[in-house]
Amino acid sequence: MIRKVVPHATAAIEGLQDGMTVMFGGFGLCGIPENAIAAVRASGVTGLTCISNNAGVDGFGLGLLLETRQVRKMISSYVGENDEFERQMLSGELEVELIPQGTLAERCRAAGAGIPAFYTPAGYGTEVAEGKEVRIFNGKPHILEHAFDAQFAFVKAWKGDEAGNLVFKGTARNFNPMMAMAGRITIAEVEELVPAGTLDPNSIHVPGIFVHRIFQGGHFEKRIEQRTVRPRA
């Protein structure tokens, strides 16, 4: 069995270069590969096209790469929590492609399944459909969307083994599994790294065949993006 463990995040991102297209898993601030993000920031690579459901927040997550101007383009679904993102987008410093969340998920899934393109009704009649092929299925217009092509995918899992098998927990399962299968090179950081054969095969969410490098993160800051509480009675 191939052992895919690397010692730390810096070793995991080896080969990342300026101008590449990269994926970052997670949903909001849940399940984001924060150690990998820190390593990307420290590497100084620039001109990245980042595919991620969210753009992080100021000072955390992908917000760290936006602060240092390492991101040229963001392809996202929900970006409403980052003031620096807003400033760069409105000033024209940052290229932004906003797409429906389901389309974002399917473009990831299609890449992992080897499907080059698909038709979806989401976005028809809006700016999302501009310049895209339209076909009618069952009397309803659909637009053609293409699978993503990312050189790297960075994901965060709860547990992983030395062969790259991954288990996600709770909301962190959003986007991480499909991005893990979609990247040409997939880097997984995990909270707990265990020997191969330790994980229950029936509980594995992403088989190790999709993962190229895996490491145990040294620190995880589990923030809450939006805290909602009930008023006192």
**What is the CATH superfamily name and number for domain 9-102+149-216?**
Glutaconate Coenzyme A-transferase (3.40.1080.10)
Domain boundaries, the chain: 9-102+149-216
Give the residue with greater pLDDT, 218 vs 34: 34
Tokens of 102: 């389901």
Q: Does residue 138 sit in helix, strand or coil?
A: coil
Detail the DSSP E strand segments found in 108-197: 117-120, 134-137, 140-146, 152-161, 166-167, 185-194
- Report the predicted TM-score, pTM, of the whole model to 2 decimal places: 0.91
pLDDT tens figures, 77-116: 998 888 999 999 999 999 999 999 999 999 999 999 999 9
Mean pLDDT across 185-195: 97
Whole-angstrom CA distances from 188 to 4, 20, 94, 161 are: 10, 18, 27, 10
pLDDT tens figures, 4-14: 999 999 999 99
Residue 223 · residue 197 · CB < 8 Å: no
Going by pLDDT thresholds of 50, 70 and 90, the confidence category of residue 128 is very high
Whole-angstrom CA distances from 112 to 4, 119, 209 are: 20, 17, 12
Residue positions counted in the chain? 233
In terms of Cβ atoms closer than 10 Å to its own Cβ (0-12, 13-18, 19+), residue 45 is: middle
- Which helix (H) or strand (E) segment holds residue 67: the answer is helix 63-67
pLDDT tens figures, 145-164: 999 999 999 999 999 999 99
Give the HSE-up count for residue 18: Cα atoms under 13 Å, Cβ half-sphere.
4
For residues 6-26, one letter each, b for 16 or more C-beta atoms within 10 angstroms of the residue's C-beta and e for the rest, the string is: beebbebbeebeeebbbbbbb
- Percent of the chain past pLDDT 70, that is, above it, reads 100
